[in-house]
């Protein structure tokens, strides 16, 4: 009798453990199923990527991005953002990218675009500013652009991984000039108080540092960077 009661308790305990384990297994499977479903159904968003195959682009639109005031004056700048949607494998994808730059002169009630078309990708742009000797405020002297114009690695997208061009313009968008082309990677830049822009980049497998005069948009010096150990 005692033995039968003992086995009954064991069976009840085993049943409870089995029920708890089953509940946990169902919860884990439900969570995994939800994550998989979410990965398949939810649209994935990326930035600074332009799909080049128009046949696979399901939708494209443009919008004006964040507006910046330059030098607390009448000049404003804002990027033109493209929104692309396309299907990739079993899920939907969307990308937003800077394709052009709008310059507004509020005092003259006029505006202009940096490019005549929206085919390029502006991977980055920076307002180059420094402080005047008699002024505590930073004054924008020029705008530094990094631009990818084509899908040079043939992956179907224009991205920062493609060959790039660096360029300069005045704060109002005028005097736009491309300074250097065929750049594989831009490592960094520093704007100095004497209107000199120092840029470090890789070009055709070789690293360089160059000094650019932002007033003339000319390369003043360009030198290879010594490789360590060679």
- On the question of pLDDT at 31 being above 60, the answer is no
Alpha helical stretches, state H, the chain: 2-41
Give the predicted TM-score (pTM) of the model. 0.76
At residue 47 the predicted structure's pLDDT band, cuts being 50, 70 and 90, is: confident
Do 141 and 214 touch, CB atoms closer than 8 A?
Answer: yes
Residue 228's pLDDT is 77
Distance CA 230, CA 220 (A): 27
Residue 6's pLDDT is 47
Residue 229's pLDDT is 65
| Strand (E) or helix (H) holding 144 | strand 138-148
Tally Cβ neighbours within 10 Å of residue 203.
Answer: 19
- On the question of pLDDT at 57 being above 80, the answer is no
């Amino acid at each position: 009798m005692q033995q039968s009661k003992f086995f009954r308790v064991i069976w009840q305990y085993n049943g409870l453990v089995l029920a708890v384990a089953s509940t946990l297994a169902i919860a884990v499977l439900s969570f995994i199923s939800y994550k998989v479903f979410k990965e398949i159904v939810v649209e994935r968003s990326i930035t600074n990527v332009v799909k080049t195959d128009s046949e696979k682009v399901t939708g494209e639109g443009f919008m004006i991005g964040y507006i910046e005031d330059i030098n607390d004056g009448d000049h404003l700048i804002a990027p033109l953002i493209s929104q692309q949607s396309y299907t990739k494998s079993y899920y939907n994808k969307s990308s937003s990218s800077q394709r052009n730059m709008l310059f507004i002169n509020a005092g003259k009630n006029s505006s202009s675009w940096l490019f005549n078309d929206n085919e390029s990708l502006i991977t980055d742009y920076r307002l180059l500013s420094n402080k005047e000797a008699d002024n505590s405020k930073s004054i924008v002297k020029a705008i530094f652009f990094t631009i990818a114009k084509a899908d040079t690695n043939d992956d179907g997208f224009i991205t920062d991984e493609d060959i790039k061009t660096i360029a300069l313009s005045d704060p109002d968008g005028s005097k736009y000039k491309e300074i250097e082309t065929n750049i594989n990677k831009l490592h960094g830049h520093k704007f100095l108080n004497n209107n000199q822009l120092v840029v470090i980049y890789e070009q055709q497998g070789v690293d360089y540092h160059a000094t650019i005069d932002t007033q003339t948009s000319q390369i003043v010096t360009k030198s290879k960077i010594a490789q360590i150990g060679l």
